[in-house]
Structure 1
Amino acid sequence: MTVAEAVVSRRSVRAFLDTPVDAAVLRRVLETAQRAPSGGNVQPWNAVVLAGDPLARLQAAIAETVAARGERTMEYDIYPKGLDGAYEERRVEVGEKMYEALGIARDDKRGRFAQFARNFRAFGAPVVMLVHTPRYMGPPQWSDIGMWLQTVMLLLRDEGLDSCPQESWAMYTRQIRETVSIPEDHVFFCGLAIGHGDPAAPVNRFAVPRAPLSEVVRFEGF
């Protein structure tokens, strides 16, 4: 697989098969991903990779809170409070396309909540990677973590695997910290669901729109 093929074929998969993932493959991916760039070679990413019983315990802990509509314990805003214009339009559009693919109507609150709850089962993925970083790290280091995550996701594609980056896990950091050892002086950032995507699932097949290049990039001096 070329880099371009990995980029084009990568998508946020929201329905996984129960096919196990080889730990050796994950180690190979993560070892290679250590070559991802970071300012000053700081490498601010830290992660815990869960499968089997540890993952099941975490999912059970969060599922109980989600079902009870319990307290959310955010450590940061997933979206800025002032998100508007084209940025907000893109966010809303992809959400509506997803629900349309799932056959969940806009006024079906129960169906939409059930889909929201599937986030915390990692959409059936057998592996979840939890990402965290020291609290004093700033926006440049968070950008570095994003470059590392993209590198991981593209390398997973090269291995025939799929993924879904999930900031939604940050809604329940208390349950995560009670179940998984994450340093208190670290901010929990996100989860990454990893596995084999279900190619037949409609939620994995709808077209995800992207802004045209002319809308986001300006060329000068060419």
Structure 2
Amino acid sequence: MHVDNAILSRRSVRRFLPTPVPRETLAHLLRVASQAPSGSNIQPWQVHVVSGAPLAALSRALQDAFDNEPEQHRAEYVYYPREWFEPYIGRRRRCGYGLYETLGIHRDEHDKRRAQARRNYTFFDAPVAMILTLDRRLDTGSFMDCGMFLQSLMLAARGQGLHSCAQAAIAPYHRVVREQLTLDDSELVLCALAMGHADPDAPENGFVPVREMPERFTRFYGD
């Protein structure tokens, strides 16, 4: 797949088929993504690849925490602004409302909205979840490095006909992740990446948020 097509066809898939992804394919994706740039080549990312019975156990534990004790869990880093403002809050709302409209969920159907949010913790039925972590002693630049690695991994997956969904929603439940996986105390849980074959019949997989045109965010200087 040409890199342009990989970028243009990448989207957040929220329902996967149960089709397994061979380990050798996953190993290939990680080898490709390992070429992502990082400041001074420090390569700060760590990846925990989970499937099969360990994935089922992790999913059960996350759903239990989401159902019974969500107020007891907080991410170890701040993702979104504490106070929203335009144009970002408008974009966020259009994305969220668009997804729920695609699923036929109205704004006042709070139980259905919560049920859809809960699907983050089933990893949207993906057969593979990758948990990305970062040494907490590193600083802001390493978050950018990990973002470049994550994008490389998602594009490599497209090259193999796979889809993915990056999930910062996992970050508040880092204690649950630690209980289920072998993480060093120094590891900060950044996000999960659900990966597999997209369900072509799922309406949510047809939702693609509108992107801004380059002239809205670009300034050219010189010829």
Distance in 2, matches of 1:151 and 1:208, equals 20
The 5-angstrom pairing of residues 133-172 of structure 1 reads: 133-172=134-173
Deviates more, 1:151-160 or 1:133-142: 133-142
Determine the structure 1 residue equivalent to 2:125: 124
| Structure 1: distance between partners of 2:180 and 2:207 | 35
1:24 aligns to what?
24
Q: Which digits, 9 at most, give the CA deviation of each residue in 1:87-111, with x for residues without a partner?
A: 1211111011000000000000000
Contact residue 128 and residue 193 of structure 1 kept, 8 A: yes
Structure 2 residue 209 is the aligned partner of structure 1 residue 208: yes
Structure 1: gaps of 5 or more residues? none
Shift of 1:83: 3.1
Q: How many residues align?
A: 222
Distance in 2 (CA, whole Å) between partners of 1:64 and 1:206 is: 28
8 Å CA contact 2:11, 2:208 repeated in 1: no
Q: What amino acid does structure 2 have at the position aligned with 1:94? A: C
Unaligned runs of 5+ in 2: none
Q: Which residue of 1 aligns with 2:182?
A: 181
In percent, how many aligned pairs have the same letter? Answer: 41
User: Matches of 1:65 and 1:188 in 2, distance apart?
Assistant: 16
Q: Runs of 4+ in structure 1 displaced over 4 angstroms?
A: none
Q: Which moved more, 1:124-133 or 1:135-144?
A: 135-144
- Aligned partners of 1:119 and 1:166 also within 8 Å: yes
Q: Does 1:40 align with 2:40?
A: yes
CA distance in 2, matches of 1:122, 1:64: 14
CA shift for structure 1 position 69: 4.4
Q: Secondary structure of 1:172's partner?
A: helix
Amino acid at match of 1:51: S
Q: Distance in 1 between matches of 2:153 and 2:75?
A: 25
Q: Residue 109 in 1 paired to residue 97 in 2?
A: no
Task: List per-residue Cα deviations over 1:109-141 (Å, max 9, x = no partner).
Answer: 000000000000000101000000111211111
Secondary structure in 2 aligned to 1:152?
A: helix
Separation in structure 2 between the aligned mates of residue 182 and residue 216 of structure 1, nearest angstrom: 39
**Does the CA-based 8 Å contact 1:73-1:174 persist in structure 2?**
no
RMSD: 1.0
Note the alpha carbon deviations across 1:46-76, whole angstroms, 9 max, x for none.
0100000111111111111212243223211
SS at match of 1:21: coil
